[in-house]
Amino acid sequence: MDLLIVRHGRAMEQDEFAIENPGQDDSLRPLTEEGIRLMKKGAKALYNVFDPPNAIWTSGYQRARQTAEILSDLWVSAPLLEVKELEADRPLSEILDRLKKNKLESLVLVGHEPNLGLLASALLASDKSLSFVEFKKGAAAYIRFEHAQAREGSGSLKWLLQPSHMRRLAEAER
């Protein structure tokens, strides 16, 4: 199984969102215009280095959903599905359990830190308590599994691209 883990792009700051949108839930916080522009560049690089996935799973939070839609615009054959287990502050065990039941050969996950770093660390080394993989906003990691399911400690990190790396790759493709 091939797994691409993507952190949402640059979003409006929490404090700024709270001031401009009193009483609204943080799940509604969107990407900034700059975040959209940068994520589109990064998505072009991902499109060139990762084969089309069977599906894109995303957190339902607006910033993650917007990021997933940018990816979906390139990988048009991949259905986009909101997965509550990818929402911020959900227990790591929930997404690990869902991945164990997954039958797809290739999957993209779009979510939030620190959850994604913890997820990647658990998939690579079975450690659920410590994150040793950092996802900056818009970063992506490709983890491959020899078996059909993504299981703790059985993944191999093929690459980790921070946003600056993806932008350089996208510019090189021109």
23 neighbors 169 (Cβ within 8 angstroms):
no
Residue 157 CB-density burial (10 A; 0-12 exposed, 13-18 middle, 19+ buried): middle
Q: What is the pLDDT of residues 31-62, one digit of tens each?
A: 999 999 999 999 999 999 999 999 999 999 99
Taken in order of first residue, the domains within the chain and their CATH numbers are: 2-172 (3.40.50.1240)
Q: Quickly list DSSP for 52-97.
A: PPSEEEE-SSHHHHHHHHHHHHHSTTS-EEE-GGGSTT--HHHHHH
State the pairing for strand pair 155-161/140-145: antiparallel
pTM of the model: 0.96
Give the pLDDT of residue 169: 87
Give the pLDDT of residue 81: 98
DSSP 3-state of 100: helix
Question: Residue 23 is encoded by which pair of tokens?
Answer: 């009483």
Name the stretches of the chain with pLDDT < 50: none
